Structure 1
Amino acid sequence: MMPSELLAAPVQSAAPAPQPSFTASRALQPRLHALIPGGSHTYAKGDDQFPEHMPPVMVRARGCRVWDADGNAYIEYGMGLRAVTLGHAYRPVVQAAQREMLRGLTNVGRPTVLELRAAEDFLQTTQAGDMVKFAKNGSDVTTAAVKLARAATGRDLVAVCADHPFFSTDDWFIGTTAVRAGIPEAVRRLTVSFRYNDLESVRRLFAEHPGQLACLILEAEKDVAPLPGFLRELRELCTAHGTILIFDEIISGLRWASGGAQQVHGVSPDLSTWGKALGNGFSIAALTGKRELMRLGGLHHGQERVFLLSTTYGAESHALAAMRAVLATYRREPVIEHLQQAGRYLRELLLPAIAELGLQNHFLLSGPPQCLMYGTRDAAGQPSQAFRTLFLQETLRRGLLAPSLIVSYSHQPADLEQTAARVQEALQVYRRALDEGIEQHLQGHPVKPVYRTRN
């Protein structure tokens, strides 16, 4: 159990935090943007998501800490967009990948024994399906799930949960967002939406598009828990209408439970997609589900063939070995319990400071403990990118990289207590900005939403 000595620590007046140097990182910025569109290979990691004059470019990481090009150290709470659940450079995972690379089977012209063992490990550990197909990222496997659903049903329409922010970089989903340049209108019309925890919105879709919905795709749980009966009723509605139910477990798989959110809530989808935590930062994703669907992407059936997933790097040996080491760690050690306890402890450490500073309506903690998030609101109680930027600015100054409050197995009580003390100082600045005006405290422009039509 996490200790609780600091839960009632009084709010102290903090001295201004020193401004760390970002000279080396700033020098790297134009070079990154000259060669890489957006300056990053993931938009959520882009410069527009961090304070304008504080752009740390990272050079190494270990456990729950990262270091930038200027030598600044941070306790990290992004954890690779939730991909790293065990900690950076987690030794058993790195060693497993290294051993496999030295065997020379990184990429050969036939299936390997490792592919079989990896599939067995995944299916036995997660209990999420009868067959599995590996790929390199979540977008590939969610798109493959949609293709498989369309092939199995002979239908075109896809229903996505409008309350969940990301499913794929591919047209069927990105066409539903503000960043839709380059996506044909005809493709966009093939995706419709429903609301999470709103069964009536789902029933309405079935009524408006009878016999046309190939699949419903959603995260079984993310920031908000499902209402009692919601997932089970979705399961029944999809079965009744011949529609494939897909759970996106890219985040929840191995963070909610070894069997994902579907295990926690006792509802089995037809297909589910997995990624992120599977490789603890290594590139590995998975599509799994019922045999009668998955087999359509194989060779041993008499129906029309589905070109499901065929990627040169889908079975890279080091990534599969990393996944096996991750799964073994989950079977051997209390990873899930630690994530829950650490997130719960961090929340408990932060709540007294939030209350004492009167920020209950301005700095909001949300989500389950293993996936803790925060929301920033201005003096009028409205969601605010400017106040998010201010919080990022003040936490970066204090050695925290906190686009979220995501914990890992490597976050220990001392790390969380140190974090809480630094967040408390940042929140004192937040309080003053509410009282005095944010322009007195924020340096540079606010961060921007990822989904926007113009830069």
Structure 2
Amino acid sequence: MSFHRSAQLQARLHELVPGGAHTYARGADQYPEFMTPVLVKGAGARVTDADGNEFVEYGMGLRAVTLGHGYAPVVDAVRAVLADGLNFTRPTTLELAAAEDFLAAVPGADMVKFAKNGSDVTTAAVRLARAATGRDLVALCADQPFFSTDDWFIGTVPMSAGIPAAVRALSVAFRYNDLDSLRSVVDIHSGRIACVVLEAATALAEPEPGFLEGVREICDRHGIVLVFDEMITGFRWSAGGAQQVYGVRPDLSCWGKAMGNGFPIAALAGRRELMELGGLATDADRVFLLSTTHGAESVSLAAFRAVAAVYRESDPVAVMERQGTSLAGTVNQLAREYGVQDAVAALGRPSCLVFTTRDAQGRPSQAYRTLFLQELLSRGVLGQSFVISAAHTDADLAHTAEAVQGALGVYRKALEAGSVEGLLQGRPVAPALRSRAEPRRL
């Protein structure tokens, strides 16, 4: 398998785009050094790169695609609005219809405002909470990797250059499934916390019995706004998100990714008394909530409405759960057969699977992860995870199983040798959010 043309294009991207990609998770440093396919098209769960290589793709647009690439009902809905204009000086009937569709799917929300990316809506939620409470501090879940590109969150990660210390001091952390840690933070910063921000669940972490209810109770008792990040859980756990699955209603919730099946759309939803602080039915000081030129353009709203219709009329989540369960079973059975089950495993919610890559001592290893990615890529499987979609067919899973089998054979050799040396080409991948370009500096 040749990556010659992709390598040329990636080099040119590095000259024009900082990091060589518009999302750090898509960067070349997240893939084997000499296997960084630059894609040209996709259909269903398969993608093709500039060299003509075809891959079964996992991750699906950073979890943004649940129905498959080029999904006909969504494409048809978008095509139908193109000739009528996309962006106007007044709201459209499509905006009203999309809001009605969204709120019908998320019964815990009274109002919604659309935007283009998740960072904007999570930051809008923080701003709204600060205005409603008159407080400054944000309590966020330290065990969860990403909430926003904005200063209130990026100041908490290693890649925090450019964020003033005064801003970094306004975010404090608590632990997931640990009510005592949240109580401690609330007590230490008594009367100063505006909001609690967390994902109700993740691929690897389900809420323990009573945890979300406890978070809700703490927030109610202390007058704190509870914000759920539903970027991943929305339309992957259910159309109504994690709040529908676990039965705990947040004050505000933030949505994106799969709600457009890859089209750029995000949403802030929540209780009327909070959302109206950015509206006209309030006597309080107004909040500059969300005001975007492209927030309600017709293409993405049409895409969302088509996605919502699919979720009303069928059950994509059930398909992802079924296919993900099958994939995890196959991967883990193969790992046992090769005797590497302590190093490689498919874990997590079936609709949002990840894989482990450990060294001979059982430690998580970037070098072994890169070797596994390399061997999957060489066998036509692309992905930093096994996050599946409803478009993954039995044939796609069979292809993946064959690729995993071949990859595990190489992985076992590395474990037996105690090193990836001689098997891995190039440098290992590196964490996307790190303080220096090394160890993958150009």
**Correspondence for 1:338 among 312, 316, 319:** 319
Distance 2:288 2:252 in 1: 17
Q: CA deviation at 1:357?
A: 1.5
Runs of 4+ in 1 over 6 A off after TM superposition: none
Q: Does 1:210 align with 2:194?
A: no
**Correspondence for 2:102 among 101, 106, 122:** 122
In the alignment, what sits opposite 1:55? Answer: 36
In the alignment, what sits opposite 1:453? Answer: 435
**Correspondence for 1:178 among 147, 154, 158:** 158
Contact 2:331 2:345 in 1 (8 A): no
Q: Does 1:149 align with 2:133?
A: no
Distance 1:77 1:213 in 2: 38
Contact 1:128 1:272 in 2 (8 A): no
Q: Does 1:442 align with 2:432?
A: no
Unaligned runs of at least 5 residues, structure 1? 1-19
Aligned to 1:251, the other structure's residue is in SS state coil
Q: CA deviation at 1:96?
A: 0.7
Summarize the alignment of residues 206-285 of structure 1 with structure 2, pairs less than 5 Å apart: 206-222=186-202, 223-285=204-266
Q: CA deviation at 1:365?
A: 2.2
Aligned to 2:281, the other structure's residue is in SS state coil
Distance 2:117 2:176 in 1: 24
Give the root-mean-square deviation of aligned CA atoms: 0.8
1:269-324 CA-to-partner distances (Å, cap 9, x unmatched) read: 00000100000000000000100000111012111100000011000100000000
In the alignment, what sits opposite 1:298? Answer: 279
Aligned to 1:438, the other structure's residue is in SS state coil
In the alignment, what sits opposite 1:389? Answer: 370
Q: CA deviation at 1:120?
A: 0.3
**Correspondence for 1:407 among 388, 394, 400:** 388
Alignment TM-score, normalising by the size of structure 1 = 0.95
Distance 2:206 2:393 in 1: 26
1:356-386 CA-to-partner distances (Å, cap 9, x unmatched) read: 2222221132210000001211111111000
Aligned to 1:100, the other structure's residue is in SS state helix
Unaligned runs of at least 5 residues, structure 2? 438-442
1:222-262 CA-to-partner distances (Å, cap 9, x unmatched) read: 02101110000000000000000000000000100111111
Distance 1:122 1:243 in 2: 25
Q: Does 1:136 align with 2:124?
A: no
Q: Does 1:348 align with 2:300?
A: no
Distance 1:245 1:363 in 2: 36
1:396-416 CA-to-partner distances (Å, cap 9, x unmatched) read: 000000211011111112211
Q: CA deviation at 1:348?
A: 1.1
Q: CA deviation at 1:431?
A: 0.7
The number of equivalent residue pairs is 435
Aligned to 1:440, the other structure's residue is in SS state coil
Kindly provide the amino acid, as one letter, of the partner of residue 325 in structure 1: A
Distance 2:106 2:261 in 1: 16
Aligned to 2:359, the other structure's residue is in SS state coil
Q: CA deviation at 1:121?
A: 0.4
Q: Does 1:287 align with 2:298?
A: no
Contact 2:115 2:265 in 1 (8 A): yes
Distance 2:392 2:414 in 1: 30
In the alignment, what sits opposite 2:440? Answer: none
Q: CA deviation at 1:334?
A: 1.6
Summarize the alignment of residues 77-88 of structure 1 with structure 2, pairs less than 5 Å apart: 77-88=58-69
Contact 1:349 1:417 in 2 (8 A): no
In the alignment, what sits opposite 1:9? Answer: none
Kindly provide the amino acid, as one letter, of the partner of residue 267 in structure 1: V
Distance 2:10 2:236 in 1: 33
Q: CA deviation at 1:126?
A: 2.3
Q: Does 1:196 align with 2:193?
A: no
Kindly provide the amino acid, as one letter, of the partner of residue 306 in structure 2: A
Identity %: 60
